[in-house]
Amino acid sequence: MSTQAVLFDAPGPRARLRHRILTAVGAILVIGIAYVVYLQFQKAGQLKAFMWEPFVTDPDVWTSYLIPGLKGTFTAAGISIVLAVVFGLLFGMGRLSPFAPLRWFCSVIVEFFRAVPVLLMMVFAYFGYFATSNLVPNQHAPLAAVVTALTLYNGAVIAELVRSGVHGLPKGQSEAGLSVGLTSGQVLRSIQLPQALTAMLPALVGQLVVVLKDSALGYGITYLELLNWSKTLGSAYANTVPAYIVAGILFIVINYTLTRFAVYLEGRMKKRRARA
């Protein structure tokens, strides 16, 4: 049900008046919140020009702090999403296997990693293994822990996407494959998976947003991503609050763009399906 069109009628004179009053109340609310924020910032001396100007005037803010931060965030998220797709495909296929023990094993793994908080895995991987051993070069230990945790969690989520994508296909697809003599493994690989992967593309882009946001958890284990760099930026320029606000805006812009892209992909797919 498209919410806006049907929940209410075209307003009559009395409803229009009521809406106007509510509009005024809403506007006062918004202005009121903005004013309280402004007062609080003013009182704490957070509106001084030297705190905000560097973001425009000093290229150093970007080249030495924010861009390395973004690079850290994107590196962790990029590696994790690729590995998570591999993990998800393997375990998603495992859960669809006709061989029951393999199916159970994959189900247990997937359900376990979906239920465990990402930070728990990250902390354990970092302090338990990567920081104290030579599995990876020392300077890459935080990155390795971030990637491990993000891969396991998101891989499990993607495995579920794969499974539900295959289950969502019409039964005729696999029946047609079986009837021309393909084995069930061949049906899965050459008929069901390609269709399921296309269908889950929007959800995959949506998952990328989750990975980007969760990579900020690396802050807790000294991984140098955007949040950590903004903290350093805040101490260097004595503008902690503005630094976090700018970092927040960067996160919002990136993730919002990705979300819109996912919505666009979904719409395009729906259209294509309607034509087919």
Residues forming the site for another protein (CB under 8 A) = 1-4, 6-9, 11, 15, 19, 22-23, 26-27, 29-30, 40-41, 43-44, 46, 112, 115-120, 123-124, 127-129, 132, 209, 212-217, 219-220, 227, 231, 234, 240-241, 244, 247-248, 251-252, 254-256, 259
12: Cα separation from own chain's centroid: 43
| Helix %, strand %, coil % of the chain (to 5) | 85, 0, 15
What is the closest distance, in whole angstroms, from the C-beta atom of residue 180 to another protein in the complex?
38
To another protein, the closest distance from the beta carbon of 42 in angstroms equals: 11
Strands (E), the chain: none
**Spatial distance between the Cα atoms of 60 and 53, rounded to a whole number of angstroms:** 12
- Nearest approach in angstroms of CB 263 to another protein is 12
Nearer Cβ to another protein, position 19 or 189? Answer: 19
The residue among 197 and 261 lying less far from another protein, judged by its C-beta, is: 261
Among 200, 202, 196, 190, which Cα is nearest to 170's? 196
Hey, how many other C-beta atoms are within 10 angstroms of the C-beta on 74?
A: 15
Please identify, using beta-carbon distances, which residue of 43 and 273 lies nearer to another protein. Answer: 43
Q: What's the DSSP call for residue 62?
A: I
Cβ closest to another protein, residue 52 vs residue 129: 129
